[in-house]
Structure 1
């Protein structure tokens, strides 16, 4: 059987076709080739049109089919991974009512803060394991307060992956994992949070039917199957947020195992079996893909909004027409410390690990007689690595102490400079793997349809290499200076 995996990213859609027997990825496609736009109608806002995602999903699937490396009729199950925390709302006819308010949008921060105080901080943290913050529930509350005409027409509330599954199947479902990432879930009671629903005045009917992550989420509609060259009735058997899915694809499933990624945003994601939370909600706890009411596996997530998006901005601003590989090579010729330049990378909305402050991005110690573009390239990558160290120290204070971190050799981890800075700043070895979110979604589909199990899905996966700290002391000194600069922006 062949498996189709869809990864709905912020920048693009990635699709892969996997052979379930050999675990071999037959082909992949990404669409569009240029990065998708984020609409910012006001500072701190971030939106994307869900129908754009759907168009891009179709194009990516058709590109894969056009390579004629497989028979599309042999695809037997579909899995979907997606950018987390976004809000998609549709009416009773499944028409999208507004652009999606995506993960890095900050408009609902104050609404979430008011809810945190009204419900009670201790209750929020001990039962939902998070502050409502600017997560999906608070974004929906913003729509209710500011766009009442839209709100009254809402039939169902979805995460981005739920929307793609709806377009494929016509069915709308959700999962405990998805509800937890929207802060709709009460972990102590193992049910939808009555406190959040009451506080925000939401009707229970807006929540879709809850199903397991690995289960049937609908059958491919005949019309869509014909459009995409697939067999009607194919099951969508897996849906998960991009970070739980990244952890799945790296075989991070047991308590104590930790994954990292550095794409548009940066994440460290560790698995625990404890109902743990940060008292300031700077890191967040959600239900992992293998969470059940009997075996409570949770993902503790550190998210940094301003990571790869800053690297992209630097490329577009200082190195238009230059490849990332060339930027990385230029940065590698600069010594650690970037000739004194320091970069604070937080320029993509409110940062949860900074108590939801919008700090902005900053370049410090710029010397017009010394610094060249290569210094900026390196300083940006070091600044992003230092932001990971800052967040990891918060995780350590909350009991997450990784001895090794697994990451895919992609995005910023494809840069030797960034990987070296990350390993030495954090003081933790990193195992690099061939890793891809769309392949992870395809594996999830295989588990969901019973073609493989969580126990055997990764039996043949081996690390490409292990990178261990080599010059940690030097990076510690640079990090301390970087941290002092950050703290001037936090006052």
Structure 2
């Protein structure tokens, strides 16, 4: 028997089929092969078509089935991970009303700041654990203010994973973790936030039915089952944002445990058993996948927009014909510090950890007689690590003191330069695992469907691939401090 996991990423859709007995993937695919474009109609805007996601999900499932490595009819449940904070709107016929305003879109920053002031900073932080900021509720308020004809047609608002579940099952549901990531949830009162809804003038009827995250969110429709070669009636039994799901897939479930990922965006995600918040909302707290009103496990999330997106930009503009493994090899030819070349990697929208400022990405200190391709790619990787360190220090200010960080051996952590630099600059050892968001979603589906007794059961065969310890922390510290000074000078001027 098998489980199907779907990861609705910004760049592509990933699908994995996991054997229930071994808890290992028997087949995994990505679709499309090329990275999906982000529509940027105006500076700071970022949109994608939900129907494109849906098309790609179908193609990915058909593609993995075509590998002929398993019996699709033996799949017993479906789990979905998805890019967080995106806004999807549908009418009463479940038709999409507009493109999704996705996570890195900055258009609602000003609305969120006004809501923060109107609700009151202390009350927002204590009840929402965040400023309303640039999250889903603020994006919906932007639609209400700027596209009233669209808003009037809305029947339900969803996150990206809710939309894919709707297309599979015809049912629309949400959960407390999902509502918290949209800043719709009042943690003090354990209910939809009246402060947010009243301030923005939003309609609570637009919020879908609330269910436990690990539960059956609908059953595969007959037509979808025939189209995708699956069994009618199997449940979608898990839906979670990509970062809580990444933590789940790394078995980061207990207070004090910490996960990291460096894909399109970069994230450090730590589990807490306290309703903690950053007074400047530079890092954000959401309900973790294990959150219940009785056991309030939260996830403290540092998100950096410009990580893998920065590396991708550098590849496309400086070495478009080379593969990422080749770039990683080239970057290792440059010494620690990249011969003084510095990069600010913040070119993918306003950064929350920088108080929602947009500095733009920059290459600094270029010496035409000294620097080469290797220095550029090492400097990009080092700068991404420096941004992680900058955010981690904010998390430390707020009581998060990780002793070890778990990460999947994927994306930027495939680069030996990046992985060792991450450990050296943060001073924290890293455990690398064979990890994939779609695999985590599949195992989450097994928990939600009752196939596994609990998360410990689902990850009973979890094994470390590699343990990395700090080696060059003393060497890197002054280099990081120089980079930090450049960033803070830029922030003062922006």
* Post-superposition offset of 1:203: 1.1
Q: Who is 1:450 aligned against? A: 450
Where do 1:14-93 residues align within 5 Å? 14-93=14-93
Q: Which residues in structure 2 correspond to 1:18-417 (within 5 Å)?
A: 18-417=18-417
Task: State the 1:382 CA deviation.
Answer: 0.1
Aligned residue for 1:77, secondary structure, equals: strand
> How far 1:454 moved relative to its partner?
1.2
Consecutive aligned runs of 4 or more in structure 1 exceeding 2 Å deviation: none
Give the Cα–Cα distance (whole angstroms) in 2 for the partners of residues 195 and 307 of structure 1: 34
Q: CA deviation at 1:420?
A: 1.3
How far did 1:24 drift? 2.1
Give the 3-state SS of the residue equivalent to 2:402 in structure 1. Answer: coil
Secondary structure class of the residue paired with 2:261: strand
Q: CA RMSD in A?
A: 0.5
Distance 1:246 1:291 in 2: 16
Q: Deviation string for 1:456-490 (max 9, x for gaps)?
A: 21122111111011110111010000001101210
Q: Mind listing any 5+ residue stretches in structure 2 that lack a counterpart? A: none
Normalising by the residue count of structure 2, what TM-score does the alignment of the two structures yield? 0.99
C-alpha contact 2:22 2:461 (8 A) present in aligned 1: no
Give 3-state SS (helix, strand or coil) of 2:344's partner: strand
What is the distance in 2 between the residues matched to 1:432 and 1:179?
30
Q: Distance in 1 between matches of 2:89 and 2:324?
A: 36
Task: Give the TM-score normalised by structure 1.
Answer: 1.00
Distance 1:348 1:69 in 2: 39
Offset from partner CA, 1:405-453 (integer Å, 9 cap, x none): 0000000001011111111111100000000000000000000111112
- Whole-Å separation in 2 of the counterparts to 1:348 and 1:120: 29
**What are the ranges of 5 or more consecutive residues in structure 1 without an aligned counterpart?**
none
Per-residue CA deviation, residues 129-186 of structure 1 (Å, 9 max, x unaligned), is 0000000000000000000000000000000000000000000000000000000000
* More deviation, 14-23/170-179: 14-23
Q: CA separation in 1, counterparts of 2:448 and 2:21?
A: 15
How many residue pairs match? The answer is 491
- Partner residue, 1:477: 478
Task: Identify the residue that residue 463 of structure 1 maps to in structure 2.
Answer: 464
User: Any idea what the Cα deviations from partners look like across 1:237-277, whole Å, max 9, x if unmatched?
Assistant: 00000000000000000000000000000000000000000
